Amino acid sequence: MRRAYCEKDAMRITKFMMNTQYATHDTHHKIKAVVFDLGETILNFGKVNTVSLFREGAKLSYEYLKSCGQSVGNYEIYCWRNLISLRIKNLISNITGNDFDSSAFLRKIGTKKGMQLNSEQWKHFAWLWYEPLSKIAKIEPDIKQTLSSLKNAGLKLGILSNTFVSAKSIEKQLEEIGILEFFSMRMYSYQFTFRKPDLRIFKIAAERIGEAFENIIYVGDRVDKDAKPTLKLGMTPVLKTAYTNTGKAVPQGVFQIHNLSELPKLIEKINK
């Protein structure tokens, strides 16, 4: 199903790129859209203890299943069964370069064990696995002001992120923060059969946000997965300072910022 969806997108991209309006070079190279990564860009997690966070999520989901009258057995067995299954799935994902929907995967494990929940309960179940990580995320205190400034300047805003966390969980967090409405375009790699730095996913992002590569800024934290591929396509890469790029060589042509609040002035300078 995902493959057919991506093939449809690929056909739309080809048509989009052949369109004369799209192919015409903009001599001013005005920035008309900003696409953001999530982790260490909008949501700052820092270095985390993944096993500890996993166990917290396992405990929350385990207790929830019990409260729903589900037979879940011993907690430690429940925790380690899911942890091992996810690690194997993640290893395969890293080899293939194809992310997966972790909430659907955990639901599949639960269903095989006889869990019976309705759609809203499964949605909450998925959120409980993600909730411990969501709680440690830090955002810039003036993030709303920054996004408002970009919107008021007439810029389109979008999200493109490598992730196996479900869109519903991510967007629940963004909605609670109060910034979801700023992003008219939102893409998550598990919805496709490829992920960053594959150029195809950036091409789809450009098509969906409706702007040429040279009119798009991509803001991320990774040199290899964010800055280099977008630079190659002709987008304007902006690298946000994070532990993920400490000590990494930054290619020429990549702008660097410490905070997202620097974006409005940077774009104003580029567009002069």
Question: For residue 25, what pLDDT is reported?
Answer: 37
Question: For residue 12, what pLDDT is reported?
Answer: 55
Residues with Cβ within 8 Å of residue 64, at least 6 apart in sequence: 124, 125, 128
Provide mean pLDDT across the span 108-115: 93
**What's this model's pTM, rounded to 2 decimal places?**
0.88
The answer to whether domain 2-45+138-270 has CATH 1.10.3720.10 is no
What percent of the chain lies above the pLDDT cut of 70?
90
Closest to 267 measured CA to CA, from 38, 30, 35: 30
Question: For residue 186, what pLDDT is reported?
Answer: 98
Angle between helical axes of 75-96 and 50-67 (0-180°, round to 10): 130
Whether residue 257 contacts residue 240, with contact meaning beta carbons closer than 8 Å, is answered with: yes
Provide mean pLDDT across the span 193-213: 97
Which token pair is 46?
Answer: 């820092």
Question: For residue 29, what pLDDT is reported?
Answer: 77
Which token pair is 144?
Answer: 């709303």
SS (H, E, C) the chain: CHHHHHHHHHHHHHHHHHCHHHHCCCCCCCCCEEEECCECCCEECCCCCHHHHHHHHHHHHHHHHHHCCCCCCCHHHHHHHHHHHHHHHHHHHHHHCCCCCHHHHHHHHHHHCCCCCCHHHHHHHHHHHHHHHHHHCECCCCHHHHHHHHHHCCCEEEEEECCCCCHHHHHHHHHHHCCHHHCCEEEEHHHCCCCCCCHHHHHHHHHHHCCCHHHEEEEECCHHHHHHHHHHHCCEEEEECCHHHCCCCCCCCCEEECCHHHHHHHHHHHCC
State yes or no: pLDDT of 28 exceeds 90: no
- The tens digit of pLDDT for each residue in 39-63 reads 999 999 999 999 999 999 999 999 9
Question: For residue 108, what pLDDT is reported?
Answer: 93
Q: How confident is the model at residue 21 (pLDDT cuts 50, 70, 90)?
A: very low
Question: For residue 17, what pLDDT is reported?
Answer: 47
- CA–CA distance, 212 with 221 (Å, rounded to integer): 22
Domain boundaries along the sequence of the chain:
2-45+138-270, 50-136
- The tens digit of pLDDT for each residue in 216-268 reads 999 999 999 999 999 999 999 999 999 999 999 999 999 999 999 999 999 99
- As a residue count, the chain comes to 272
Closest to 205 measured CA to CA, from 162, 164, 248: 162
Residues with Cβ within 8 Å of residue 251, at least 6 apart in sequence: 223, 227, 228, 231
Question: For residue 8, what pLDDT is reported?
Answer: 56
- The tens digit of pLDDT for each residue in 73-107 reads 999 999 999 999 999 999 999 999 999 999 999 99
Question: For residue 1, what pLDDT is reported?
Answer: 44
Question: For residue 220, what pLDDT is reported?
Answer: 98
State yes or no: pLDDT of 19 exceeds 50: no
**Better-scored residue on pLDDT, 235 or 4:** 235
The CA distances from residue 5 to 8, 192, 232, in Å, are: 5, 8, 25
